[in-house]
Amino acid sequence: MTRDYEVQKGKNRSRIYAAAILVALWLNVARMFTIFVKDDEFSFLLLMKLCAISGSFLGALQQTACFVASQTGNLDRIFHNARFTQIRRRRCVKRISVLQTKYITFDIVSQNKKIKFNTRSTVAASLH
C-alpha cells in the first residue's frame, strides 16, 4: 500500500501488464463494431450482435474504471477506510464464495444438460 495514498512514481510490471490488457480490451471493442454488414436485418442475429457489443463495451469500461481508481490511489483509500470487523469480513467472504459456487455449478450443469426432443411422439400426437 502506498503511504499517504500517494501514487507510486515508477513503472512496474503489473502496471504495464494492466495497461496492455486495457489496450487489448478497447481494441476488442473496436473490433466488435466491425461485425455489422450491409445485409443485416432486424432479427435474432442482429440482437445477438448488439448484446455482444454492449457486453464488451461495458466490460472494457468497468476495467478502465478499476484501473484508474487503482492508479490514482482511490482504491487503496477506499479499502483502508472500510471498517470491517474480522467477523463481518468472514461472513462477507463466505456469502460471496457460496454465491459464486452456486452460480458456477448452475452454469456447468446448464451447459452440459442435453435436452432431447422425441419428434416422433410429437408428430404422432399432433396427428391424432
Rounded to two decimals, what is the model's pTM? Answer: 0.55
Per-10-residue mean pLDDT of the chain, 128 residues long, equals 50 81 92 86 88 89 88 78 78 88 81 54 46
Instruction: Give the pLDDT score at 9.
Output: 56
Query: Sign of the C-alpha dihedral, residues 46, 50, 56, 57?
Result: positive
Same domain, 59 and 26: yes
Same domain, 91 and 38: no
Total of domains in the chain = 2
Same domain, 97 and 74: no
Same domain, 114 and 72: no
Same domain, 39 and 98: no
How far apart are the C-alpha atoms of 29 and 52, rounded to whole Å? Answer: 9
Same domain, 48 and 100: no
Instruction: Give the pLDDT score at 10.
Output: 55
Q: Three-state DSSP class for 69?
A: helix
Same domain, 9 and 24: yes
Instruction: Give the pLDDT score at 102.
Output: 87
State the residue range of the domain holding 128: 85-128
Same domain, 58 and 120: no
